[in-house]
Structure formats: C-alpha cells, structure tokens
Amino acid sequence: MKRNLTSMRRILARRLFDLWRIISIPCAAATAGGPVPPPDDRPAPEPEASRPPTDAHGSISKKRLWYWGAAILIALPVGGFLVAASGIMPIKASSGHWPITAWFLNFSMGRSVSTHAAGIEAPPLDDPGLILRGAGHYHISCRPCHGSPERRQPRVPLAMIPHPTYLPPVIPEWSPEELFYIVKHGVKFTGMPAWPTQQRDDEVWAVTAFLLTMPELDEEEYWQLVSAEPVGRAAAEAGTNGSSSRTEDDVRQLARRLCADCHGIDGTGRGDGAFPSLAGQHADYLTSAMQAYARGTRHSGIMEPVAAAIREDDFRRLAEFYGSTSTGRALRPGTPENASQSEPADADLAASLERGRQIAEHGIPDEKIPACIDCHGPTAHPRNGHHPLLAGQQEWYLRQQLELFHEARRGGSEYAHVMQPIAGRMKPEQIRDVAAWFARQTSARTQPE
C-alpha cells in the first residue's frame, strides 16, 4: 500500500513538473532571450529515460505541445457531451437565465444582426400603403407576443425564456436594415420565427415600415391602421380571427372577419389602393389563389398564414362573395374620363399608356410576348375563370406580380407556369407600361367559359 502511494506521488509530481516546465520555461526564455535555468530548489533531475522530450533549450518539444493541445480539444467536447448526457443541466424556462448568460446572448445577437445587415439597403419606407399592409400582418402575427400600443404583452409569452420584447420602446434602438434582417430571418433559440417565405422581401419591408411608425402611435391610431371598421376591433378582442364554424350562415360576416381588415368588405381594398382589389374577380381564380397560399405554393408571408387557417369549404364561399360584387372593377383614378381631376395627362404618361395598350392588345410578337387581353380581358367574350381579370386592379400590385413572375419568385396555382416565361421576357419598362394601362381600364365582366 505504501509502495503504491509512493508511486502515485511520483506520477503526480512528474505531471506537475511537466506542467510547470510548459508554462514557465518558454515564457522565461522568450523574456530573457534564452533558456532560463530552473530555480535551485527544483526537484532532483529524473533519469534521462523518464524525462519528456525536450529541444536544445530544454523546453518541451513541439510534438509534446501538439499532443497536449489535441488532448484538450478532444476532452472539451467529450466532457461537454458527458455533462449533457448525464441530464444534470436544467432546461426549465422557470429558472430563467443567469445575468451573464442573458447579457452574452443579447450581445451576440446584436453583433450578429449588425454585421449581417451591413449590406442591406432600405427602400423608401414612408409610403402610407406600405405601412398599412405591414400593420395588418403585425396585428395578426406579431402582436400576440410583442404587444402593441393598445395592449401590452399577454401573460403567456412573458413566461418564455427569453421572453419576447415589448417592441414600441425598443424599436428606435435598431436601424431599418437591422429590423428587416430580424423580421426576415428570425432569431434562433428564442421562438422568433423566420418570415414564412424568403421570396417576398417587399412584404418584410412593409412590416419594417410599420415597426418604424409604431412607437409614435397611440391606441386609437393603432386601431385605425389595423382594422377596417369597429367590428374588426371587436372581433380581434373576442379572438374570432379564425375561420367560421359550420353554423356560420352569413358569408358577409365571414368575409368581414377574415378579409375586410385588408381588402374591405366590398373588396376594393383599404386605404388609397393599399391592398389588391378582390371585387368582381373570377371566383375560380380567387379559390385557386387561396388554396395555393394555404399550400405554400404561392409565396406570401402575409397571406399564407391567413389562408392556412381557413376551412376548405369556406374558400369557395368567400370567392363567390367577392366575385359577385362589382364595386371593385370600376374606373380607377387616371382613366381617360377623370384623368384631369386625378393626375396630369402629360406627354410621358400618355406615351406610357399607349405603349401599355399596344402590349395588352397586340403583344410583342418579336419578343414572344402574347397579347394580355387574350387571357385576362377586358373583352366581351368569356375567358377561363382561372385567369385573373386585370382591368381596374391596383397599378402597384400588377407591377409587383409581374416583377415576381419575372424573377421566378411568385409561385401560384397550376396555371402559374403559363405566366412565368412570358413575364420573364418582359423588360422593366414594359412591365411598368402595361400595369399602368390595365389599372386605368374598366372590366367588361362576363361569365367564364
């Protein structure tokens, strides 16, 4: 027993001696410009065979250092795995984070967002229509965790670790580009999801525009942005934003709950053309569009969550309701009949509209671009109900959809592949001209074939 203890002491002394030499001798040599003799009270030299290999200066060899480094690199992950496998690490949210842990996570997030947002350029974000579109999505998808000017955070999200931030006071701490990055990509290990589709930066900028506005809003101003009418607020407070039950007989009330806060109960869209018009559209097209949103084959972080929550049989009911209205297919500002009252009929605009008319009515055969009206009207004879009517639609929306097709980022129903190559051949100015022309037309509405 005594012999074993003696052997263990020698081994421990040897390991401590090795560690001391690793630390002290190279440092002393680097400071003094040469090897430093050991102190007089060092242990007696061991036999040559038992000493670790050294170089000419008496320091531990590089090979030995590599062994130590490799051992440490292996021991750290193995030790971490063993600690995790033991189950002794608590993962309960009720315990919270240590202050140093919370600081480190917040610091790391801030630095990461700042670095990755450095190359992003923000577009103009003061457009009222852009803000209005972002407000609607924030109210549905973000407010339940992050609160709003009219309601601080609910109790359940506050029990999350880390708990979601109440946004109005902290928005000014972030730049528009940083907010865009967070909204688009989410934040790992926080419950903050990424945008449902990575194809629609325009929607992410809409939410960013609203976030920049929110700190200045009071309760009433907030509700004016997110709700079409008082019933929208009542429905939201009652938690009835989902689809109807089978006992719901009034499709108008269904549309009021699910669609009106953005598209209006008459389908013309809220605000000054901030949302696409649904009124008078083909019911077949509206049905297939909602189904594509619900499946995720038509890309939209705003519409996908809404459509996914609607019952399958309600798709058709809503489509027929909005398709039966006609107020949305009326003249838009800028049509020949009222152009003098709404926008100047200057030479550039007139030339743009004429170019758009030529593309819409005759196409560009040399560039393999067919006439738009052959599928989309307006004409007096029937068209396929799965092809949307374009006349009288919002100009920004028509331009946006063509650009998404051009960049292969739109997706859609089983008919979307028809538009993909056509829009892909169109130049930006052609997209602009044809969108301007269709927005100023009325729809010769007929029943589809």
Residue 192 CA to residue 69 CA, distance in Å, equals 38
Same domain, 245 and 197: no
Looking at the structure of the chain, the number of domains it has is 3
Report how far apart the first and last C-alpha atoms of the chain are (Å, whole number): 101
Residues 338-347 pLDDT 10s: 333 344 458 8
Which residue's structure tokens are 């019933």? 231
Residue that is last in its domain, among 173, 197, 226: 226
Q: Which of 369, 374, 379 is nearest to 402 (CA)?
A: 369
Q: Is residue 59 part of a domain?
A: no
**287 within domain boundaries:** yes
Is 390 domain-assigned? yes
d(CA 11, CA 19): 12
Is 110 among the domain residues?
no
* CA torsion, ordered 206, 210, 211, 212, to nearest 10 deg: 100
Positive or negative, the Cα torsion across 273, 279, 283, 287?
A: positive
Residues 312 and 385 in one domain: no
Same-domain status, 283 and 204: no
pLDDT digits (tens, 9 = 90+) for 82-108: 888 888 888 888 888 889 999 999 999
CA distance 359 to 370: 8
The CATH number covering residue 393 comes to 1.10.760.10
| Contact of 137 with 262, CB cutoff 8 Å | no
Nearest to 369 by CA among 358, 380, 353, 383: 358
Q: Do residues 309 and 351 share a domain?
A: no
Q: 133 and 221: one domain?
A: yes
Question: Do residues 258 and 196 share a domain?
Answer: no
Distance CA 390, CA 282 (A): 11
- Report in angstroms the alpha-carbon separations of 372 from 63, 252, 404: 75, 33, 17
Please indicate, yes or no, if residue 251 is contained in any of the structural domains: yes
pLDDT at 154: 82
State whether residue 364 is helix, strand or coil: strand
Task: Tell me whether residue 61 is in a domain.
Answer: no
Please give the distance of CA 183 from its chain centroid, rounded to a whole number.
Answer: 5
pLDDT at position 167 is 94
Q: Are residues 158 and 217 located together in one domain of the fold?
A: yes
**Are residue 221 and residue 129 in the same domain, yes or no?**
yes
Structural domain ending residue among the three candidates 267, 298, 329 = 329
Largest Cα–Cα distance in the chain?
111
If asked whether residues 266 and 211 sit together in one domain, one would say: no
Range of the domain at 218: 120-226
Confidence band of 71 (pLDDT split at 50, 70, 90): confident
pLDDT score at 83: 82
Residue 188 lies inside a defined structural domain of this protein: yes
Label residue 119 by pLDDT band (50, 70, 90). very high
Mean pLDDT value across residues 6-30? 55
Q: Which of 6-15, 37-46, 186-195 has the lowest mean pLDDT?
A: 37-46
